[in-house]
Amino acid sequence: MKNIKNYNLEELKHELVQMGEKPFRAEQIFRWIYVENVTSFDEMTNLSLDLREKLKINFTMSIFNILKKQVASDGTIKYLFDVLDGNAIETVLMKYHHGYSICVSSQIGCKMGCKFCASTGVAFARSLTSGEIVEQLLAVERDEKIKISNVVFMGIGEPLDNYDNVVNAIRIINNQKGINIGARHISVSTSGLVPNIYKLAEENIQCTLSISLHATTNEQRSKMMPVNNLYNIEELLKACKDYIERTNRRISFEYALAKENNDNLEDAKRLVKLLKGMNCHVNLIPINKIENGTFTKSTNENIMKFRDYLNDHGIVATIRRELGSDIDAACGQLRRKNLL
């Protein structure tokens, strides 16, 4: 059976028409799923009993089970969800003064092999469907009885390695007749899959693109991120410039600071040179500790010096708040879990 949450509104209309129903039924169903956040077809009371039965025969609602829920001292919540096939993924809810932000996973495991990230330490299982991406948000909203206002694709997996499902999930999340989170409140982070950055620029989605840059020379970046051997810094930045030009959107560069690795003044100088003149923002992440990891966090002093150097030289830089690190919910600490 097909997960009904894999369809965006247009596709759902098409499905309903195929079943001999009127397209507006799709809008009603869409509302039940994404606005009312119901968990069964029986609750869709403005549909005939007959149609509800037909839906039950043809589709599932694929409601995730919560296997574990951990609350950090700063209020960040990490969920372990049973994705109903023996696999489990993590999703993180963060509370900010401007609202709730959810960090969703896009794959079960990750193929990218970044040396500092825990998501890559366990074998890759598969990509998530768009319905499974969206269900993370719905499940958290149901559990906490809240409305989420920001979505970041920064959980487990490489979003641009699951391109179609991620783009479709964004369309579903963005739809005004459903969850209705504006594209500007949706961020997609990539380790740098260059061809799909060009592709994303063509989609006409106003989401924010974040690039995991983390280093300023190819030698250094290749040591941290094997993807750099495929698409180097020059190719990556060229794609970023194209993205900014086409979408008129500012790009965010993520830079995880590790002691005696990429955090000295020479690095900051090179970073300024690389990004000079680009419509961008740098998000400095004090690198988080992972099991068996070789990188350690820069000192606070170095982190602030690094930020100040960038800001003094025309590159807007902020330090990302470390949320949820006491429950391994911070950047780079999420892992897929196997239930079997």
Question: Under the rule (CB under 6 A), what is the footprint of ligand SAH?
Answer: 112, 114, 116-117, 154, 158, 189-191, 212, 254, 256, 285, 287-288, 290, 331-332
* Distance of closest approach, residue 251 Cβ to ligand SAH, in angstroms: 12
140: its two tokens? 């958290």
Residue 178 or 286 with smaller CB distance to ligand SAH: 286
Options 15, 21, 90, 254, the catalytic residue = 90
The residue with its CB nearest to ligand SAH is 332
Nearer to ligand SAH, 62 or 168 (CB): 168
Q: How far is the CB of 326 from ligand SAH (least distance, A)?
A: 15
Q: Judged by CB, which is closer to ligand SAH: 76, or 191? A: 191
Tokens of 2: 């097909």
CA–CA separation, 59 and 34 (whole Å): 16
- Closer CB to ligand SAH, 90 or 254, in the complex: 254
Q: State in angstroms the smallest separation of the CB of 256 from ligand SAH.
A: 4
Instruction: Specify whether the CB–CB gap between 275 and 216 falls below 8 A.
Output: no
Give catalytic status of residue 90 as yes or no: yes
Least separation, in Å, of the C-beta of 152 and ligand SAH? 8
Long-range contacts at 196-201 (CB < 8 A, ≥ 24 apart): 196/160, 196/161, 196/163, 197/160, 197/236, 197/239, 197/240, 197/242, 197/243, 198/239, 198/242, 198/243, 199/163, 200/160, 200/163, 200/167, 200/243, 201/242, 201/243, 201/246, 201/247
- d(C-alpha 80, C-alpha 77), whole Å: 10
Give the residue numbers marked as catalytic.
Answer: 90, 331
